[in-house]
Amino acid sequence: MQLVINSYGAYLHKKDELFVIKTDDKTTPVSADKVDSILISTAATISTDAISLAIERNIDIVFLNHFGDPIGRVWHSKLGSTTVIRRWQLKAEETPEGFMLAKGFVVKKAEQQIAYVKDLKKNRPVMVDEFNSVLSAMENILTDLRETKGNAASQRGRVMGLEGMLSRHYFGILSASLPKKWQFAGRSRDPAKDPFNAMLNYGYGVLYSQVERGCIISGLDPYIGILHTDNYNKRSFVFDLIEIFRINVDRVVMNLFVAKKVKTEFFDEVPGGVMLNKEGKAVLITALNEMFETKVKVGRRTVTIRSSIPLECHHIANSMIGKGDGV
């Protein structure tokens, strides 16, 4: 279980082989045998004895700020689950298992994109032929993706090439679905060439922080990628994993434009493009927060989209632990 200490003034200490959480009104003992990780946020404290017990039991301690973002963690020196996970990630680029995991992220993104394009098609009967053509092309590419086998080292270029083709079809039909004023010519970054991409890029930036948080909390190393290669200070695994969550931001941004909630005043011109300004960010962040608090089904549980991200990360981490050294 994950032990979360988020009550103001809470105190975590050790008694025998128990973690004891003390708040103003009650004391709660928890067996160390049942704890996999400890998250500490708000103005909570932890004793050195509790830290020592966690280290002895290979239990991660992660400190979060008031926004729930990781600001540090206590690492243990023994070979525990976090070390096994990192070893799995380091080997994954060369293994079929690692490739299937990372390719699965791209496949899931493609499936989500196709489902969303079908949703858009329902409300645009005059564009049915254009939608059918795009959907046919996307489904053919998805088939090629599913049939691609090997490892990331040998198939990285092919997967990213297919992903790029999917992206062009996908964003092409998204653009065609917008009012003419807001239509755009493909994806653009650093800077965005148009308001749609400026808003999308900022939304993805917010999502990156949520995915990185999920990785750190679950013991995944954000810097050890599989499809995305390792570079100094590049969160390569976040770039791999974010693919399965992008659709949530896509829907938010599209809805804002289609609902005519976006104004030209939300954007400032910069050399080579445009950027979202303070007024625009406020509107987008409000919409993103509403999205993150939307309830979804994850297995048998109903959780918010925000909570589903670390849950997915835990699922991935647990699958890696199960494989152990057999990668």
> Can you say which residues are annotated as belonging to the binding site for Mn(2+)?
163, 228, 243
Return the SS3 of 305: helix
Instruction: Map tokens 């032929």 to a residue.
Output: 129
Query: CA 118 to CA 292: how far, in whole Å?
Result: 23
Crossing angle of helices 152-177/96-122, nearest 10°? 10
Own/partner long-range contacts of 77-82 (Cβ < 8 Å, ≥24 apart) = 81/36, 81/219, 81/317, 81/321, 82/58, 82/219
Beta bridge partners of 232: none
Contact partners, residue 151, CB within 8 Å, separation at least 6: 93, 94, 95, 96, 98, 99
| Binding site, annotated residues | 163, 228, 243
